[in-house]
Amino acid sequence: MRIVLGVSAGIAAYKACELLRLLTEAGHRVRVVPTPAALNFVGAATWAALSGQPVEVSPWESVHEVPHVRLGQEADLVIVAPATADLLARAATGMSDDLLTAVLLTARCPVIFAPAMHTEMWEHPATRANVTTLRDRGAIVLDPASGRLTGQDSGPGRLPEAAELFAVAQRVLARGAAALVPDLAGRRVLVSAGGTREELDPVRYLGNWSSGRQGYALARTAAGRGAQVTLVAANTGLPDPAGVRVLRATSAADLREVMLAEAGTADAIVMAAAVADFRPAVRSDSKIKKSGAEPDPIILAENRDIVRDLVAARRRPGQVIVAFGAETGDMLANGRAKLARKGCDLLVVNQVGNGLAFGTADNEATVLGADGVEVKLPRAPKDEIADAIWDVVAARLR
């Protein structure tokens, strides 16, 4: 695929070097188009050496090739990382005073902006208006990550890690022409991921094998389809997906509290987390030690069903609620019973155990609908499974 990697003048430009490496190693032909000021952070020689392509910043270079038109016309994807407040403003107003902004006007392929700037700049009404304008035109503008910024400052405005930006780019390319109209643009989605932990004592817990990969894939692909995504992560250890707001939870009770607090503004809720059905009825305040005698039995108490509580609390018209069902027996029969019991709109049911689903890079599932719809998803990487699930959800949101 032919990719234009735009780089604007922010300190995070050095991270784009790693993104460039990932894109070229995946077999893509990448043309780096920095703004003139971006060369103050990373020089043209670095971009040329890493990409194997010439580097130009002005439409007056290589005029015979008409680069300001040709690059945009031929690209399969344009990704700008970092996208500064200045670049977003110029793109939103249609300025074309350098090669990169000219390419943005001529591109007829999907365009991704990965903003990076100080928190105050990201939160300024002018920047927010420019982001809204670009999103309304069909561009994918990822929300920045939160973390350490220049100097001692910290907060929203950090460029997501290169590996996560690469993952978004790959999914957008995989969707082809469908990515030209981000079908989740303007939608707010809430996704849970990972496995909850129920404490026995200060050092032990009851848990499960969920890695959180499927939930993270759902969050990542939703962001790549234009959604504003909140991910509630339970004990995953995975890097934050690009363009996603991440909240943390530990136990089933924690997860329930956060999900119910966030659910009111969501157009779609996907409960991909593996939630413990039970917790110890009593938690020891000190470590349980061997005594030579038979240990006391662990008495379990049942946790609340978070999906049923979300359904009961639903007040937003048209909200789509999706649950997951991990099964070891008759998958479809158990799934249909669970769908009826929970009262949600869709249930994604999959076989687990013996090396299936938990901790793996791929998955296989069936989506069951309360209206009788049944969509089989053959074994595929989890990002592809996530996109297939969003296809079903997006159809219902329309």
> Which DSSP helix (H) or strand (E) runs through 231?
strand 228-234
The pLDDT assigned to 70 comes to 84
From 132, 35, 142, 125, select the one nearest 92 (Cα to Cα): 132
Phi-psi region of 309 (alpha: psi -120 to 50; beta: other; left: phi over 0): alpha
The pLDDT assigned to 62 comes to 66
Using alpha carbons, list the distances in angstroms from residue 377 to 174, 277, 338, 369.
17, 26, 19, 14
Q: The whole model's pTM is what?
A: 0.90
The pLDDT assigned to 296 comes to 86
Q: Give the chain's largest Cα–Cα span.
A: 87
Phi-psi region of 389 (alpha: psi -120 to 50; beta: other; left: phi over 0): alpha
Count of CB atoms situated within 10 Å of the CB of 147: 14
The pLDDT assigned to 63 comes to 65
Amino acid residing at 11 = I
Contact between residue 6 and residue 57 where contact means Cβ atoms under 8 Å apart: no
> Which DSSP helix (H) or strand (E) runs through 336?
helix 331-342
Specify the pairing of strand 278-280 against strand 300-302: antiparallel
The pLDDT assigned to 151 comes to 76
- Residue-range domains of the chain with CATH: 2-180 (3.40.50.1950), 188-397 (3.40.50.10300)
**Predicted confidence pLDDT, tens digits, the chain (398 residues):** 999 999 999 999 999 999 999 999 999 999 999 999 999 999 999 999 999 999 999 876 666 665 568 898 999 999 999 999 999 999 999 999 999 999 999 999 999 999 999 999 999 999 999 999 999 999 999 999 988 888 788 889 999 999 999 999 999 999 988 889 899 999 999 999 999 999 999 999 999 889 999 999 999 999 999 999 999 999 998 999 999 999 999 999 999 999 999 999 999 999 999 999 999 999 999 998 888 888 889 999 999 999 999 999 999 999 999 999 988 778 898 899 999 999 999 999 987 766 666 778 888 999 999 999 999 999 999 999 999 999 999 999 98
Tell me which residues are annotated as active site: 208
